[in-house]
């Protein structure tokens, strides 16, 4: 009875070394410990050390390489048929640069959201509506700073916090936040677009994403 190798592939594997081994891009399980140890360190790609980016490979490329090394082995791929190798450098951005990026994104989000809210209130003429409601209920003219404006402003902020399910490092519930869901959808769409673009080209693995 021949041994069986189970090969689980993720859609995107991040590596920091141009010499890519099978254990870097796949989770392996095998009935033979010896075969498993040999295949973990099997080279699957040699990338250009100075060309960072995304490279696309197919699970069939891995199967062919494994069959050359272990011809009697049964291979059972699990997961994605095509996957991306993201080659990045070892150096991480400094703390100052990271804080500058975070501050820039926060400022853009804050002023962008404020501008959107103000334009919506201006289009809907919220101030005039609150003034009419206040006059109908109290019989007096609104000063523009009444319980309606205060409750509306407080409710708007609380509504944003509840909707995004996130405040600082704490979450209001265990569900993923809408931002996390959108980022995962965007990441999946980017990965799918890269794989589809590379698969339509005549050259084969590892294909590199265009800069």
Bridging pattern class, strands 74-79 and 4-9: parallel
Residue 208 to residue 211: CA distance in whole angstroms: 9
pLDDT greater than 60 at residue 45:
yes
Q: Is the dihedral of CA 55, 61, 65, 66 positive or negative?
A: positive
Question: Mind listing the pLDDT tens digit for each residue in 122-161?
Answer: 888 888 888 888 888 888 887 778 888 888 888 888 887 7
Question: Mind listing the pLDDT tens digit for each residue in 57-100?
Answer: 888 889 999 999 888 888 888 878 888 888 887 665 677 888 89
Name every residue whose Cβ is closer than 8 Å to that of residue 121 and which is 6 or more positions away in sequence. 127
Task: Name all domains of the chain by residue range, CATH numbers in brackets.
Answer: 4-87 (2.60.480.10), 95-198 (no CATH)
Question: Mind listing the pLDDT tens digit for each residue in 112-133?
Answer: 888 988 898 888 888 888 888 8
Supply the pTM of this predicted model: 0.62
H helix or E strand, kind and range, residue 118: helix 95-124
Model confidence band, residue 211 (pLDDT cutoffs 50, 70, 90): very low
């Amino acid at each position: 009875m021949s041994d069986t190798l189970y090969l689980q592939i993720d859609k995107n594997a991040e590596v920091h070394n141009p010499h890519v081994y099978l254990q870097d891009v796949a989770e392996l399980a095998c009935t033979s410990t010896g075969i498993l140890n040999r295949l973990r360190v099997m080279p699957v790609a040699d990338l250009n050390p100075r060309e960072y980016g995304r490279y696309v490979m197919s699970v069939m490329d891995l199967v062919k390489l494994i069959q050359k090394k272990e011809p009697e082995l049964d291979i059972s791929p699990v997961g994605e048929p095509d996957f991306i190798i993201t080659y990045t450098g070892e150096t991480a951005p400094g703390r100052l640069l990271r804080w500058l990026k975070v501050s820039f994104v926060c400022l853009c989000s804050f002023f962008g959201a404020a501008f959107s809210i103000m334009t919506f209130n201006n289009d809907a003429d919220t101030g005039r509506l609150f003034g009419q409601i206040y006059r109908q209920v109290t019989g007096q003219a609104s000063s523009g700073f009444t319980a309606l404006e205060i409750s509306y402003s407080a409710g708007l902020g609380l509504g944003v916090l509840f909707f995004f399910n996130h405040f600082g490092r704490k979450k209001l519930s265990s569900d993923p936040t809408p931002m996390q869901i959108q980022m995962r959808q965007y990441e999946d769409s980017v990965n799918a677009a890269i794989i589809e673009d590379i698969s339509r080209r005549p050259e084969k693995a590892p294909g590199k994403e265009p800069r």
